[in-house]
Amino acid sequence: MTDAYDELSLFHENAEEYGLAFDREHPPTVRRASVEAPSGHQISALVWGDGDPEVVFLHGGAQNAHTWDTVAIALDRPLLAIDLPGHGHSQWRSAKDYRPQLIADDIAHTIATLAPGASTLVGMSLGGLTAIATVARRPRLVERLVVIDVTPGVNREKASVVTNFIAGPESFASFDEILERTVLFNPTRSEASLRRGILHNAHELDDGSWTWRYDRFTPEGLDDVDQLTHFDDLWADIESIEHPMLFLKGSDSPVVDEDDLTELRRRKPDVEIVVVDGAGHSIQGDQPVELARLLDGFLAAR
């Protein structure tokens, strides 16, 4: 077995990699919290800071709340990072169905419980679609919405950069094996950051093998690729949202194309769209400091 994993002990690595100030003697206050959602399932989250959370983050499919660690350090605001159902430390569901429309009520309840005064909801990929569904159903929950590199127009071809990785093996003989595959699919990311990501997103079994800390999206009658790439009905949700909305696209990401942006502008003419240079689909992984800067500006524009 490897050394005991402490999920709150690696923040200094995030800060050092991006040149952010970090006091190892007085690290950020971060705690894990859990809420029983209306569905009866437990939803887990990381609460950053001592004050009431100002911002709530929803990660992408096959990720977890720790994907926002560097952004949280750079942003330096009280915030809440939620593990989506079936991800991280949140409970898996026997139906294996994690579509945004089905989990929105549980996410809204978690936000209302742990971050009742939050002004802004930020979601990336599956978390972005979930944020759209949540705000459309609970418009008074937050005041602002940020969606990162996803629209309801995502399809199988555009999402292949994501789904090809997720569709891979569920378990690996060793940590080196799971790291090797992760590096292969993330050639622009540092090995140190990918190592941290695996420690947060996988766990070691008693026999020394490793398996992911997220459930496969395989509800009956719907394969996992279709699960991730059929969300056309969420365009109507976008059209219904009156909140200020910031949309961020990674310059190198194939997940969102010009047709998507055209439709987004048609559905929500007041949307602010920013292309983040040097970023792929996971902007928080590729350009976390720039993402924090953009979020800080959006939060300040009240």
pLDDT, tens digit, 9 for 90 and up, residues 210-243? 999 999 887 665 554 454 556 889 999 999 999 9
Largest CA distance in the chain: 55
Is there a catalytic annotation at residue 149? yes
The position carrying tokens 């026997």 is 94
At 144 the pLDDT is: 98
Tens of pLDDT, residue by residue over 41-77, are: 999 999 999 999 999 999 999 999 999 999 999 999 9
Domain ranges of the chain: 11-156+231-300
pLDDT at residue 179 greater than cutoff 90: yes
Nearest C-alpha neighbor of 246 from the set 271, 222, 278, 214: 271
SS3 159: coil
Is there a catalytic annotation at residue 281? yes
pTM: 0.95
Question: What's 227-262 look like in SS3?
Answer: HHHCCCCHHHHHHHCCCCEEEEEECCCCCCCHHHHH
Catalytic-role residue among 59, 109, 200, 281: 281
CATH number of 11-156+231-300: 3.40.50.1820
Q: Which amino acid is at 165?
A: F
Distance separating alpha carbons of residues 67 and 190, to the nearest angstrom? 14
Distance separating alpha carbons of residues 19 and 67, to the nearest angstrom? 18
Catalytic-role residue among 44, 90, 125, 282: 125
| Order of strands across the sheet that contains 171-172 | 171-172, 210-212, 202-204
Is there a catalytic annotation at residue 41? no
At 231 the pLDDT is: 87
At 1 the pLDDT is: 41
